[in-house]
Structure 1
Amino acid sequence: MSLLDRITVNPQQCGGRPCIRGMRIRVSDILDLLGAGVEVEEILADHPDLEREDVYAALTWAARYVDHPRLSA
């Protein structure tokens, strides 16, 4: 399983936003916490269903998303 396989998108869940392994924990939630300076260990302690690889998957997804070229007319 690659890290990005941990990211799921379901139009019926969380408004179709990317989530972690089908749970209602959005990638953006993880990124917001990291951006606010919350340590990975604290995120994992506060969300016992998360695994360390889920946090890495969120970071990998974000890196790929921002590196995606966008064309505009």
Structure 2
Amino acid sequence: MNLLERITVNPAQCGGRPCIRGMRLRVSDVLDLLGAGVSIEDVLADYPDLEREDIQAALLWAARYINHPRLSA
């Protein structure tokens, strides 16, 4: 499975924000935890349905998202 396939967007779920594998765990939630200094092991322990590849997918998604050019008027 391609890592980015783990990131899902459903307009009827979490306001259409990117989530992990259709769960109500947003990519931003994972990134906030990591940014706050929570270790990957602790995140995985706190969210037993989460897999290490999900965290890698969230990081990859974020890297691609911020590297995406945007045009402003």
Same fold per TM (> 0.5)?
yes
What residue number does 1:70 align with? 70
**Cα distance in 2 between the residues matched to 1:59 and 1:37:** 14
TM-score after normalising by structure 2: 0.99
Percent identity (aligned): 79
CA root-mean-square deviation = 0.4
TM-score after normalising by structure 1: 0.99
**Cα distance in 2 between the residues matched to 1:40 and 1:72:** 36
Deviation of the 1:61 alpha carbon: 0.2
1:69 partner SS: coil
Structure 1: state its 5+ residue gaps.
none
**Cα distance in 1 between the residues matched to 2:70 and 2:10:** 23
Structure 2: state its 5+ residue gaps.
none
**Cα distance in 2 between the residues matched to 1:34 and 1:7:** 17
1:22 partner SS: coil
Count of aligned residue pairs for this structure pair: 73
